Amino acid sequence: MKIFSSLDEFIDSKLHIDAFVPTMGNLHNGHLQLVEVAKKNAKNTCVSIYVNESQFTDKKDFDSYPKTLDADIKRLKDTGVDYILIPEKRDIENNSEGFDPVLEPKILTNDLCGKYRKGHFLAVMDIVHRFFQIIKPNIVVLGEKDYQQIVVIKELIKICNHKIRILSCPIIRDDSGLALSSRNNLLSEAHKEIASEIYKSLVLVSRLYEQDSSPRTIEEEINIFFSKSLIELEYFTIRDLKTLQQPNDNDLIALIAGYLGTVRLIDNIIIKSHLK
Ligand code: AMP
């Protein structure tokens, strides 16, 4: 395993990276699954660790984002990953072109999480576009935990004509159903238990859907569910799985975001259509 803390050294090495796994560090089993999938599907794998300040809409959220570089490197070593890239902001900016904001697909980026985190997805498109130019991978491996991010990056690839294939991986959860997330480290044990209500609500969504409840009825039930919870719902909605636009007869996805105290949690569940 080779660790590049200098972007110049990475670029000078002229590596041919097959699979790229972007992360913001504080690695858990959700991230490690991405590395495993990358390793199974690619000749070599490069994991980046970079906390992109511009995509944080709340400065306090950025400041409190857990940073555990030594532990991350150790975990990655155990996976047998080939390369770790830990670049500096200035070097990334000096070695790539930014994403042209005029091209932002606002119908997607200002919706769902983007509606509540203004500028978040434009910043994600910018950093991923820069990484794609620098690393030039054949494959990028992404987690379905951030489902809207996958759809946004798919759009980025189309808009900028990157020759990169997306491999997406299912959400890894703990025993209570709580989706693993770096932000879970900011929750007390008691709050972690409460946070698992998010997944419980998504299981309820699946069950209601199986019973042929309409999206509107399901949304009402979920609002009732969270009216009795300490979690403050930011949004819950059911959308088309591929486009994230309003639902139709295709496969669907239920997406949710909420706050437990100051910690923002997101989750989703894919609902296969039985109407097709
Ligand atoms: P992050 O470090 O939070 O930016 O996440 C880096 C990548 O890991 C993204 O593609 C995430 O979707 C993915 N990821 C984070 N948590 C999970 C999880 N619990 N299950 C699957 N993928 C995840």
Residue 27 is predicted with a pLDDT of 98
Integer Cα distance of 236 and 150 in angstroms: 18
Residue 20 is predicted with a pLDDT of 99
Residue 16 is a catalytic residue: no
Beta partners for residue 267, in sequence order = 256
Digit-coded pLDDT (tens) for 117-133:
999 999 999 999 999 99
Global confidence as pTM: 0.97
Contact assessment for residue 269 and residue 261, using Cβ atoms and an 8 Å cutoff:
no
Q: What is the DSSP string of 107-121?
A: HHHTSTHHHHSTTHH
Residue 176: what are its φ and ψ, rounded to 5°? -85, -5
Nearest CA to ligand 1 atom 11: 143
- How far away, in angstroms, is 249 Cα from ligand 1 center? 28
> 273 pLDDT band (50/70/90 cuts)?
confident
Rounded average pLDDT over 181-186: 94
At 32, list the tokens: 């490690």
Residue 155 is predicted with a pLDDT of 98
Beta carbon of 265 within 6 Å of any ligand 1 atom: no
Beta carbon of 238 within 6 Å of any ligand 1 atom: no
Residue 80: what are its φ and ψ, rounded to 5°? 75, 30
Other Cβ atoms less than 10 A from the Cβ of 247: the count is 20
pLDDT greater than 90 at residue 275: no
Beta carbon of 198 within 6 Å of any ligand 1 atom: no
Residue 75 is predicted with a pLDDT of 98
Residue 35 is predicted with a pLDDT of 98
Beta carbon of 172 within 6 Å of any ligand 1 atom: yes
Percent of the chain with pLDDT over 70: 99
pLDDT greater than 60 at residue 150: yes
Integer Cα distance of 47 and 141 in angstroms: 10
Integer Cα distance of 110 and 119 in angstroms: 8
At 80, list the tokens: 């047998």
Which of the following is catalytic: 28, 31, 120, 129?
A: 31
At 199, list the tokens: 């997944």
- How far away, in angstroms, is 179 Cα from ligand 1 center? 10
pLDDT greater than 90 at residue 250: no
pLDDT greater than 90 at residue 236: yes
Rounded average pLDDT over 213-242: 95
Rounded average pLDDT over 258-268: 97
Mutational test site, ligand 1, from 20, 21, 23, 184, max ligand atoms within 8 Å of CB: 23
Rounded average pLDDT over 130-151: 98
Digit-coded pLDDT (tens) for 64-111:
999 999 999 999 999 999 999 999 999 999 999 999 999 999 999 999
What is the chain's length?
276
Beta carbon of 146 within 6 Å of any ligand 1 atom: yes
Residue 17 is predicted with a pLDDT of 98
Digit-coded pLDDT (tens) for 14-23:
999 999 999 9
Alpha helix segments (H runs only) across 120-252: 120-135, 147-160, 189-195, 197-210, 215-227
Percent of the chain with pLDDT over 90: 94
Contacts of 62 (CB under 8 A, 6+ apart): 51, 53, 56
- How far away, in angstroms, is 232 Cα from ligand 1 center? 23
pLDDT greater than 90 at residue 276: no
Q: How many CA atoms lie within 13 A of 76 on its CB side?
A: 30
Contact assessment for residue 137 and residue 163, using Cβ atoms and an 8 Å cutoff:
no
- How far away, in angstroms, is 29 Cα from ligand 1 center? 9
What is the residue-averaged pLDDT of the chain? 96
Ligand 1: which atom is nearest the Cα of residue 24? 2
Residue 261: what are its φ and ψ, rounded to 5°? 65, -125
Integer Cα distance of 247 and 238 in angstroms: 7
Q: Which residue has the higher pLDDT, 248 or 140?
A: 140
Rounded average pLDDT over 181-201: 96
Strands 263-271 and 252-260: antiparallel
Residue 226 is predicted with a pLDDT of 98
- How far away, in angstroms, is 69 Cα from ligand 1 center? 16
